[in-house]
Chain A
Amino acid sequence: MFIDQSMIRKVITIDPEAGIDEAKEMMRRYRIHSLPVVSADRTLIGIVTDRDVRSAWPSDLFSVEEALRQKERSAELKIKDIMTADPVTVSPANTLQDALLLMQKIHVGALPVVDRDGKVVGIISLRDLLRAFTGVLGIDEPGMLLGIVADDQQGQMKRIVDAITEERIRFGSVLVSRHWEEGKRAFFPYLFTHNVLQLKKKLEALGFTFINPLEWYLRDQPSKINKT
């Protein structure tokens, strides 16, 4: 749950005095979209993204002479001229939830991770967050998803988890939809098993019903029914 556990530690960084070509080449070689800009002692100064690099390059819309002039100008530009100075950062002790909400809020694809002294110790990108949350869902292991509808009252989740435990089935996650229907909740345990026949019987006997994914898919879109 901590950024420290999901961040990339071998950060590819760039010097503020480097040229734009160098940034372009590094992004291509390492297939990354942003480079923290650091001083000699790895203190974070800024961040440069592939978008910054693209914007600094002449557009095709210019005339030939204008494009050439622009190209010369761009060639003189340094990273420090096009980077975002003082970028938003996180610390290794921040959580993945922090990073998720922050990236959503400020529309960036990666956040530099810095220690108390402002030195870069890692970077966390949307890609790293996706990997972490795939693990949280458990869907990187063989299993299947059950959709269970329950009355909206206390203790329902316990009854479901108890039934799963009694069947000695391990599970990767349980997602909860709090407002499934009026007065109903839905639970989606991801179960690490190929055999849920007995569990389903047990849950039915406890009064739970199962979600039919196709009805769910078609529910709000009657137009789709014609297609099927």
Chain B
Amino acid sequence: MKKTGFLYDKRFLQHQTGPYHPEVPERLEVIYRGLEQRGLLSQLTIIPARPAEDHWIEAVHSVEHIRRFEEACLMGKRDLDHPDNQICEETFQTALLAVGGILETARRVMGQELDNAFCAVRPPGHHAEVNQALGFCFFNNVAIAARYIQAEWGVRRIGIIDFDVHHGNGTQHIFERDPTVFYYSIHEHPTFSYPGTGREFEKGLEAGYGYTLNSPVLPGYGDEEYRDSIEKDLVPAFDRFQPEVILVSAGFDAHEDDDMSNINLSTSGYSWIMNRVMGLAERHAQGRLISILEGGYSLSRLPELTCNHMEILLKG
């Protein structure tokens, strides 16, 4: 059995998004309770959060963005940049804790204290741009983790797999010129789904051309189409790229019962994907995989989806 870390901190619940917003603290509470009920908590190494140092946030975001975010929270504003991005006084601190917790998790995986890990964080990150909050996201958690691992652990090639049902525009834009970070995303087709990017022809820019890969899936499709795209697009691309570490933007909103999308992945479809992703980590990255929560809004399905996710990490 693997040594699997679980980043969870009650302070992640402090980020409040107000009424009529799907990105709620209960998401993490049901995940935690689900793991508890399935008896998985005792098999995991629970990692508490700590605030990230500014310079790691600045490895991805502009100082102006960071200060504007902090100021908006201190001033009691309700949102940052767009009404989608609801904030409260504690949101900035919570976002710092999420990033810091992820970096602590990465430190333990890279230092071989752990084999792999799942980070149940809020707020999510993959829509956040260098200088703009977007789609419920403020700091791009996965992007900061990638830069940290490269800078601190002498790793060159990092593979990011984003199976959130929405395209990770922020992550793509941050690395689109960078041939050392391969960004793969599978998501609902951008003509119909937020944020409207992630088409097949977006393949990276300049030196990074060929290191971004998108598999859009039409709304209404599910397991079979995901399986086809992952076998046809992701697996050969990562076999060529040979990532030394794999980071996962784990969104569970492609599930058929999640009303934030019209993609119909089943629970077993999700497990199939994660098994395939684990296989890539074993083959190329010595099993080093850090999974970071993005979306996933069905409070009734999140427990089973994250429990299965954990069991796959534990099994290796």
Contacts and interface: CB of A to CB of B under 8 A. Distances in A.
B127 A194 contact: yes
Given A193-B84, A194-B135, A197-B260, A214 B194 contact: no
A168 B218 CA distance: 28
Given A195-B22, A212-B262, A213-B220, A142 B136 contact: no
A217 B220 CA distance: 10
Interface string B241-267: 000000000000000000110100000
B137 to A, nearest CB: 9
A204 to B, nearest CB: 12
Nearest to A141: B196
Contact of A142 (B192, B197, B219, B260): B197
Contacts of A142: 127, 134-135, 169, 194-197
Nearest to B297: A197
B83 interface: yes
B196 A143 contact: yes
Contact of B218 (A192, A195, A214): A214
Contacts of A169: 83
In this complex, the interface size class of chain B, counting residues with CB under 8 Å from chain A, is 20 to 34
Given A168-B83, A193-B83, A197-B22, A144 B194 contact: yes
Contact of A198 (B20, B166, B189): B20
Interface string A191-216: 01111011000000000000011110
B193 interface: yes
B112 interface: no
Contact of A194 (B192, B195, B197, B218): B195
B259 A214 contact: no
A221 interface: no
A228 interface: yes
A217 B218 contact: yes
A217 B166 CA distance: 21
Contacts of A192: 82
B136 A213 contact: no
A144 B196 contact: yes
Contacts of A77: none
A217 B262 CA distance: 14
In this complex, the interface size class of chain A, counting residues with CB under 8 Å from chain B, is 20 to 34
Interface string A113-157: 000000000000000000000000001011111010000000000
Contacts, number: 65
Contacts of A198: 20
B166 A194 contact: yes
Given A193-B83, A214-B220, A228-B221, A144 B192 contact: yes
A139 B83 contact: no
Interface string B128-146: 0000001110000000000
Nearest to A172: B196
B191 interface: yes
Nearest to A198: B20
Interface in A68-111: none
Contacts of A193: 82-84, 194
Given A193-B84, A195-B22, A197-B260, A139 B196 contact: yes
Interface in B183-209: 189, 191-197
Interface in B34-83: 82-83
A198 B21 CA distance: 9
A145 B191 contact: yes
A46 B164 CA distance: 54
A198 B19 CA distance: 10
Contacts of A139: 196
Nearest to B191: A145
21 contacts: A139-B196, A142-B127, A142-B134, A143-B194, A143-B196, A144-B195, A144-B196, A145-B191, A168-B83, A192-B82, A193-B83, A194-B84, A195-B20, A195-B21, A195-B22, A197-B20, A212-B220, A213-B218, A214-B218, A217-B218, A228-B221
* Nearest 3 pairs of A and B residues by beta carbon: A214-B220, A142-B195, A194-B135
Given A142-B127, A142-B194, 8 more contacts: A142-B135, A142-B169, A142-B195, A143-B194, A194-B84, A195-B21, A197-B22, A214-B221
